[in-house]
Amino acid sequence: MFVLRPLSQRSISLLWAGQVLAATGSEFYMVAVVWIAADFIGSNAGYVSALQSGALLFGSLFGGILTDRWRHSTTMIATDLVRAALLLMLSLAGLLHLMSLPLLMVLAGSIALLTSAFDPSLQATLPTIAVDPDVRHATNGLFDATRRMARILGPSLIALVNGFLPKSQFFTVTAATFLLSALAVWLAVAKLPAAPRRREFSGMAAVVDGVLGGWRVARGHAAILYGLFTNLMGNIAWAMGILLGMILHLRETSADPLTDYSLMMMAYGVGNVATNLILSSIKPRRPVVWIIAAKLIFGSGVFLLPLMHDRMWLMIVACFAAINGPFENLAMLHLMQTRSEPHRLGQVYRLMMCAIFSGLFLAYLMSPSLFAWFGIGPSIMGAGAAVFISGLIGIGLLAWKQMHPAEAKAS
């Protein structure tokens, strides 16, 4: 199915448009947080990002205890509104010259905690507005493309406004997009029937189910477990190699680091979106092969990035590395939607978020020390090599499964 066909459905088109805006605004936010933190503490800015990742991990682990009881639309709207309010506080602090590292850390951590509640609610909503399997796969591709389109729109807009819009006012842009996202959610899904819920629990059983529900589904599926492992490894390299590492690397080696970084991320977004448009029309019949391909491509791309001293080659390598995203994400969404019950989908998605944010947390926590010991460039290359090896491990697992089919089936 052509990936744009679901947009003919009003609820999908409204929700998708809101997420494109919010994801574009988030690009401004992510650059602003790292840039301002680096102004305060240099290469130790990784600790601020580690705090955000830790908050995301905490929310992914325990947020379901509360949000599983609410309508998903209520969770999404409330999250957008509160995040917008916190971002406006950061903008005001910048205008009044009251920005400080403690304030940045507290509000960034709070925004991250709220974000951990939004994404699982969104993913649990999609099957209720895209019931047909073919429409659902195209819808998965469409919403997976939102962040990828934002990596084109966001960095290009950042490069455009760089020089006359203060970094602290990037937060105002993000706040505005979150407000529009809340409006889109309200118009698209707030009045639709609620998504399937898990069966009712009470007391400690509800707490345990909120935390462990996703694991209870995933532990019986080797493909999902491998996907969780590669998500962990890939996000270590994403954070250490690109989100933080390349910012610091370009600050040391480039005459115009913000423009170079923005163009690199824009090229990454182009590779993401182009691959997404192709793969959204192809069902992943062998999802694990897609995940393996993603890790081999991304690992080699991250390894090469610090070696690219020419702006054009930097963009070309970033575009190549970006091919990995749709391969991995569409394969994982397919696995989760086909191998878990509808009322467990939000919980399984939170488990994947735990893997993602564990990788980010570890990367940001380790990166200041690794950068100091080995240098920024070599650390980025090492992270890329580790991801490439995770792809080779997947090839080994597939080979073992073919040589021992009976044992693999029993496991």
The DSSP string of 135-196 is: HHHHHHHHHHHHHHHHHHHHHHHHHHHTTTS-GGGHHHHHHHHHHHHHHHHHHHTTTSPPPP
Dihedral angle computed from the Cα positions of residues 107, 113, 114 and 116, in that order, rounded to the nearest 10 degrees: 150
The single residue listed with the structure tokens 């509808």 is: 342
Pinpoint the alpha helices (H) of 63-71.
Answer: 64-67
- Cα 294 from Cα 329, distance rounded (Å): 9
**Alpha carbon distance 243, 178 (integer Å):** 21
Per-residue confidence in pLDDT tens, the chain, 411 aa? 456 677 778 888 888 889 888 988 888 888 888 888 888 887 677 778 778 878 887 877 776 656 666 777 888 899 999 999 999 999 999 888 888 989 999 998 999 888 888 877 787 777 777 777 767 777 877 787 787 777 677 767 776 776 677 877 888 989 999 999 999 999 887 666 655 554 454 444 444 455 555 666 677 778 888 999 999 999 999 989 998 899 889 989 988 888 898 889 889 988 988 888 888 777 778 889 999 999 999 999 999 999 998 999 999 999 999 999 888 988 888 887 777 666 666 677 778 878 888 888 888 888 888 998 999 999 999 999 999 999 999 999 888 877 766 555 544
Which domains, from first to last, does the chain contain? 1-198 (1.20.1250.20), 201-405 (1.20.1250.20)
Q: Tokens 């084109």 correspond to what residue?
A: 152
Residues 6 or more apart whose CB falls under 8 angstroms from that of 330 comprise: 137, 140, 141, 144, 276, 279, 280, 284, 290
Q: How far is it, in rounded angstroms, from Cα 281 to Cα 267? A: 22
Phi and psi at 163, nearest 5°, equal: 115, -30
